C-alpha cells in the first residue's frame, strides 16, 4: 500500500512539473474522451432544430457550448483550482458579441418556424432542455476537468472565433458526460490480495516431535 501511495504522489509531482498546475488536475492522467471536430447539425450537439439553416445550426452549437460551460460554472465549484466561475464570467465578457448574435439567431429561428408567440415559448423550452442535457453526477469529475480545460482555451481564443473552438471541442465535452476513471489506477485492486496456499493439516503430514511439515506433504 505504501508503494502505491508513493507512486501516486510521484505521478502528481510530475504533473505539477509540467505545463498545467497540479492543483487543476482532477485526474493523474486526462481521460480520453475521443476529441475531434463536429458538424453543427450533428445530433450529439443538442436539441434537434428541424428546418434550421447552416447559420442557425452554428448558433445552436455555440449556444450549447455556452450552456455546458455555464452548468460547469455552477456544479464544479468544489475545486477552486478549476476557476470554473471566474473563467466562465471571463468568457461571457470576452465573447459577448458572438454569444449575443447566437442568442438572436436562435430566438429568430423559433419565431420563424412557430410564430412570434409560440416561438418564444419554444425557445424557452429549448433553453431549459439544453441546460438539463448537461447535468451529470456520476461523470462530474471528468466533465469538470474537461470543461475547465475548454474554458481556458476559450479565454485564449480571439474574439469572433469562439464558434471554431466549439466545433473542435463540443464532441469532447459531450463525451465527458460518460463516467471516467483513473486509467493508471483502475487496474489496482487492493482487495485482490493473493492468499498463500494452506498446507495440509493431516496428522500424517507433520512430525509430531519437532512440529514441522514433512517433505512429502510440502506444497509445490
Which one is predicted more confidently, 78 or 25?
78
Which one is predicted more confidently, 152 or 204?
152
Domain ranges of the chain: 20-175
Which one is predicted more confidently, 82 or 163?
163
Is residue 159 within 8 Å of 95, Cβ to Cβ? yes
Tens of pLDDT, residues 36-71 = 799 999 989 999 999 999 999 999 999 999 999 999
| pTM assigned to the model | 0.68
Amino acid at each position: 500500500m505504501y508503494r502505491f501511495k508513493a507512486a501516486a504522489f510521484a505521478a502528481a509531482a510530475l504533473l505539477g512539473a509540467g505545463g498545467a498546475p497540479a492543483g487543476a488536475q482532477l485526474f493523474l492522467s486526462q481521460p480520453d474522451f475521443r476529441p475531434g471536430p463536429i458538424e453543427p447539425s450533428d445530433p450529439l450537439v443538442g436539441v434537434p432544430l428541424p428546418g434550421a439553416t447552416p447559420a442557425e445550426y452554428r448558433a445552436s452549437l455555440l449556444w450549447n457550448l455556452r450552456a455546458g460551460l455555464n452548468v460547469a460554472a455552477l456544479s464544479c465549484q468544489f475545486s477552486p483550482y478549476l476557476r470554473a466561475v471566474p473563467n466562465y464570467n471571463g468568457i461571457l465578457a470576452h465573447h459577448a458579441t458572438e454569444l449575443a448574435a447566437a442568442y438572436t439567431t436562435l430566438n429568430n429561428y423559433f419565431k420563424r418556424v412557430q410564430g412570434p408567440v409560440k416561438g418564444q415559448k419554444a425557445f424557452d423550452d429549448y433553453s431549459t432542455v439544453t441546460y438539463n442535457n448537461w447535468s451529470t453526477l456520476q461523470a462530474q469529475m471528468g466533465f469538470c476537468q474537461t470543461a475547465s480545460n475548454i474554458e481556458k482555451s476559450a479565454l485564449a481564443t480571439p474574439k469572433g472565433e469562439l464558434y471554431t473552438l466549439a466545433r473542435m471541442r463540443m464532441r469532447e465535452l459531450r463525451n465527458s458526460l460518460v463516467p471516467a476513471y483513473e486509467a493508471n489506477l483502475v487496474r489496482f485492486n487492493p482487495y485482490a490480495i493473493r492468499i498463500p496456499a494452506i498446507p495440509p493439516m493431516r496428522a500424517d503430514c507433520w512430525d509430531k516431535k519437532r512440529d514441522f511439515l514433512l517433505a512429502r506433504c510440502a506444497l509445490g
